[in-house]
Structures are given as structure tokens and as C-alpha cells.
Structure 1
């Protein structure tokens, strides 16, 4: 075995749009300095769109929730979600460069850092969505406690803890990232998990999808049952927004996890066929797209779509502000209902 060649693990990670292996370095990969294949061109175009819309959209949410609106629990959640997506979108130019040139020119540190940020975005996004779901459930299920205990300061502490856990779970993405120069003098940035590939994929699927999915599903089941029983929600927009956010996340990330699991059963010596390579690119691009969709979900929830483009910033603020008012309204109504029940008893 040639020690100068990377022991590629066929890991379907976001940063691996261009895959290299010891056995087949050119059959389905993009040639260095050449991006003429349709798949490569489409991938680059999509990433340029995601980068521009992600920076603008998430930047707008950060500005509004961070500087224009009064700090609250809800604005803290959405500010954190927008920050995660904004940081991820800011690293896309490095990825686009590697796709176009099929080479990594930014050194080992950026190779590790880029992979770390991408994985950090996946974990932090889903953790924040889980936190929001649990928060909604607690607000409706235990309104008195929520009214006394839900503060922006505590919400900020929870967000810090979520980011800390996300960073810990993202360490393997940086630790096992390496650069190497292949036989054609092309520098590549790749994941060398050695014997830890299954562990990393299992960890990503478990903490980045399975547990969050079960937690969110449980919270929403409790939430829907409680709301239907008390009929205390006058506005459904906050729930529509959250439902769309969560549904979009799982639609974007499920193919990525499926491809990662499928790869575990692929032999390292098996040809890296073009169809599977296309599936990798598609699932990775779809996962990347999640980072620019969220802010547009806030803006396009209103009824008159024709006016959306002319009032994008105000719609984002209005959607988040309405959710904040609705949360307080639900708590007040629930307190009133509970007080009447207590008096009757």
C-alpha cells in the first residue's frame, strides 16, 4: 500500500463533493482545474445561490433579532439558529473553490476548520429546533412555571450549552481531517477515519437525527393534544412556522444520513460509481440548502405573497414578534383556565 495516498473512507460528508480513493482517482471525480461536467456546474451554481441567499437572509434575521427587537426567549432561539446558518454559509466559498478546482489550496487548518463548521451547523441547528420544541411544550403544559421561569438570560444559557455540545460532537470532523498530495500533484482535503468510520456515522445519525426526531415528535404530540383540549390558540402562524422549520430540516438532512449509512456497507475496493457519486452530491447540496431556507420561512408565512418581496425585513420581524405575543397569550389564557378549574374544585 502506498503511504502517500489517502485511505479514503467514502464518507458522504458535506465537505466531500470531490472524492478520491487509492483505487480510482479519476473515474468519477472532477479533474483538477476543470469543472465542465454538468453535475459540477449545477453544484457550483446551487452553492452560489445558497451562499448569497444564506448570507443576506440570515444576516437580516441576525440584525432584526439582535438589534431591532426586544430581547426575549423566542428571539434568542431564532438569533442562535440564524447565527449557525450564517457562519456555515460564510464557509461555502472554500467549498466552492475545492469543487471547481478539485484541489484544496487553503492548508490543513482550514481543511479541519471547514469540516468542523459544517458539522457544527448540523448539530447546532437541530439542537436549537429541539430546544424550541421542548420550550413550546413546556409553555403549554406548565404555563404557570413557564411564566415564572422563562427568561431571556436562561434562554441564552441554554443556547450556550447547545453550542458547547455541538462543538464537542463536531471534534471528530476536525480531528480526522487531513490533506495529502496525490500522484497528479493535486492537494486534497479528506477524512481519514481509519477504524472509526462506523462510530462517527452512528454518532451523527443518533445525535443529529434520531434522538432529535423522537424528541420533537413527542413534544409536538403533547402540544397538539393540549391545544386541542383547551382550544386556546387563536393564531396558528407560530405553529406553522415551527412545523415548516422542522419539516424542512428533516427533508434536507435525511438523505444525507441515508447516504452515509449506505456507504458503510460499500466496500472500499468497490468502484465508486457515478450514480452513487451523484447521490452524494445531491444529498450534500440538499443539506447545505437548509442553511438559507429558514429566514425565508419567517417572511413568506403571511397571506399576501405579492407583497413579500417588498417587505422582507418587516415580515421576518412580524413573524417572530407574533410568535412572542402568541406565547404570552397562550400562557395567560391557560392560567385563566387553570384558575377557573381550581376555583370550581
Structure 2
């Protein structure tokens, strides 16, 4: 498990950082598609640097040792990174659709791409905000363990989500399913289906 996590982190950091630097340094690569791909790499890089190492250590140790701020930040970055990646794929699908089906019509410019990226990050942070509010460190779940394990976890905490009610959590997770999965997948499917059938 340690080898697998380390390999993913190493490849994620080196690969995404290399791609971002190549696109940033070579002006001939400054087009809409590459800017959107670079944005996708930034979100993946963020996940590799901020989330994967902490998730591995948390999984390995079975308790949280990084404090309350990192508990909130880790959850926030995970949600943001996933949202930005998905929204970036939607923007890429729109750009490809316009380029292939309407080469002489309206096509997104670099300014449009930058605006789309800004909106993507703003929406991702907005939708991830509940993790800042409801993620916290607590020892309550560890106190519910059988007595044979309680001594082992005495003084230790876990990082969990504590929602005000089950209904609010269900509403949020259903909304995120629609926003992060069903709607983008449908949109991307329609864009590429139209490209294929033309």
C-alpha cells in the first residue's frame, strides 16, 4: 500500500508539474485546449500534494494526527479538486465541439478559457464549503469501540463530517451527485456524440 500510494503521489506531482511547466514556458502551446488541460493538471497536482499523503497516513494510522485545520482543508481540497477536474473536462468538451462542428463560427478564446477556469474554481470552492463547516476532529467514534480497543485509542481523534441533520447531508450529497457526475457526464456525452455523428 505504501509503495502504491508513493508511486501515485510521485507520478502525480512530477507528471502534472512537468505538463504545467511545458505549457507555461512554450508560447506556441498557449491555446484554449492546452490552458484547460493545464487547469486539469493543477487540480490533479493539488490532490497529489495535499490529499494523498494525508489520506495514506490517516488510513495507515487509523487516527488523525494533523489537527483541526488540516482536517477541514483536506476535505475541502478533495472536493474542490474533483469538481475542478470534472468541470474542466466539460469545458474541454465544449471547446472540442465548437472547434470540430463550427470551425468558422464562435470559438472560445483564451479570455473565455480563463473566465471559464475562474468560474470553475469559484463553483468548486462554493460547493466544497460545507466541508469547512462540518469537518472536525473528535474522539467520539473511538469511544464507541469495544473496550478491548479503547486503551489503544485513548487520547486520539479522527477527522469526520458532522452534519446538522441526516436530511441536510442527504440533500448535499444528492446535489453533488447531480453536479459532479450526472450533469457533466450527460453534457460531455452529448457534445462528443454530436461530434461523432457529424
The structure having more radius of gyration, on CA atoms, is: 1
**Which whole-Å deviations, capped at 9, do the CAs of 1:241-270 have from their partners, x for residues lacking one?**
xxxxxxxxxxxxxxxxxxxxxxxxxxxxxx
Q: Which residue does 2:179 correspond to in 1? A: 207
1:152-231 correspondence to structure 2 within 5 Å: 152-181=110-139, 182-183=142-143, 184-193=154-163, 194-195=165-166, 196-226=168-198
CA contact (8 A) 2:75 2:131 kept: yes
TM-score (norm 1): 0.51
TM-score normalized by the length of structure 2: 0.86
Following superposition, the deviation at residue 138 of structure 1 comes to 1.6
How far apart, CA to CA, are the structure 1 residues paired with 2:80 and 2:155? 31
State whether structure 2 residue 103 is matched by structure 1 residue 133: no
Q: Determine if the alignment matches structure 1 residue 109 to structure 2 residue 73.
A: no
Match of 1:81, SS state, is: helix
Measure, in 2, the Cα distance between the counterparts of 1:158 and 1:120. 15
Per-residue deviation, 1:56:
0.7
Structure 1 distance, partners of 2:105, 2:90, is: 20
Cα distance in structure 2, aligned partners of 1:131 and 1:82: 14
Per-residue deviation, 1:150 = 2.9
Partner of 2:190, secondary structure, is helix
Of the three residues 77, 81, 90, the one matched with 2:36 is 77
Q: What SS does the corresponding residue of 2:80 show, helix, strand or coil?
A: helix
- The structure richer in helix per residue is 2
- Show the counterpart of 2:80: 120
Per chain length, whose mean CA-contact separation is higher, i.e. which structure has more relative contact order (CA < 8 Å, sep 6+)? 1
- Other-structure match for 2:150: none
Please report the RMSD computed on the Cα atoms of aligned residues, expressed in angstroms.
Answer: 1.5
- The residue that corresponds to 2:26 in the other structure is 68
Moved beyond 4 Å, runs of 4+: none
